[in-house]
Amino acid sequence: MVARGGDSLTTRIDHFMYAVASLDEGIEWAADTFGVPAAYGGEHVGLGTRNALLSLGSTYLEIIAPDPAQSLEGNAGAQFADLTSGGMVTWAAEGDLSAIARTLEMTGMSTEGPHRTRRKTQSGDLLVWDLLFPIGSLHSGRMPFFIDWLECTNPKDTNPVGGEFRALAITTPDADDLAGVLRSVDLDIAVSAGPPALSVAIDSPRGEVLLASTDETSDMQFGRIR
């Protein structure tokens, strides 16, 4: 697909972000839900978060939680610390960040980045990637952020397989607007009109799993929160 402005884009769903107040409890939840233990990922220094990961075949699930070893003042970890239950927060798409930024600007949506991001794995390897965030979107986490893994192997290929991704469902009050923005960056995702919600269907060793946003997570803004 050739997006407006002449940029040739190949964009794909990269991963889904499921937030919990405690990563230890999130890892236990994942083992009970999928029958497969999630692998500890690492810490996001400055964001106040840490994560655990499960491959979903063509994509992966990031279980994200506050990092008690970091300050939780005005960052993403602070948002997640008060959650009473886990829930879908947002999703990420992988692609050419410069081309995506130019295309989003033409739809009237500003972006922040790319920002270079790093974390160390348990084995001591350093992962380095770039992130691009939409700014001021009325769709909150139903609008994805964007990632370029640079020279790193995608986590979907290096973590325990918890199942196979089947479907992403998005509802938002202004469905046509969000669907149009997604199409502009080569993401053909069905968006329905309705209350703000995000859900992901997964075929797991224990049957179908449906992960959904909650009242607490449906309007969270994930980005370089200060």
3-state secondary structure of 193: strand
Summarised one tens digit per residue, pLDDT across range 8-38 is: 568 999 999 999 999 999 999 999 999 999 9
- Which of 33-42, 59-68, 69-78, 164-173 has the least mean pLDDT? 69-78
For residues 89 and 26, is the Cβ–Cβ distance under 8 A? no
DSSP 157: G
The pLDDT assigned to 8 comes to 53
Q: Is the pLDDT of residue 225 over 80?
A: no
Rounded average pLDDT over 87-97 = 96
The pLDDT assigned to 6 comes to 42
Higher pLDDT among residues 42 and 203, named by residue: 203
Strand-strand pairing, 191-193 and 164-172: parallel
Looking at 75-194, which runs of residues are DSSP E strands? 87-94, 110-120, 126-135, 145-148, 164-172, 191-193
Q: Is the pLDDT of residue 94 over 60?
A: yes
State the sign of the Cα–Cα–Cα–Cα dihedral 34, 62, 128, 58: positive
The pLDDT assigned to 122 comes to 72
- What domains does the chain contain, in order, with CATH numbers? 12-212 (3.10.180.10)
- Round to whole Å and give the CA distance between 96 and 82: 34
Q: Give 12-53 as a DSSP string.
A: EEEEEEEE-S-HHHHHHHHHHHHSSPPEEEEEETTTTEEEEE
Residues facing 92 on adjacent strands:
15, 145
Q: Is the pLDDT of residue 61 over 90?
A: yes
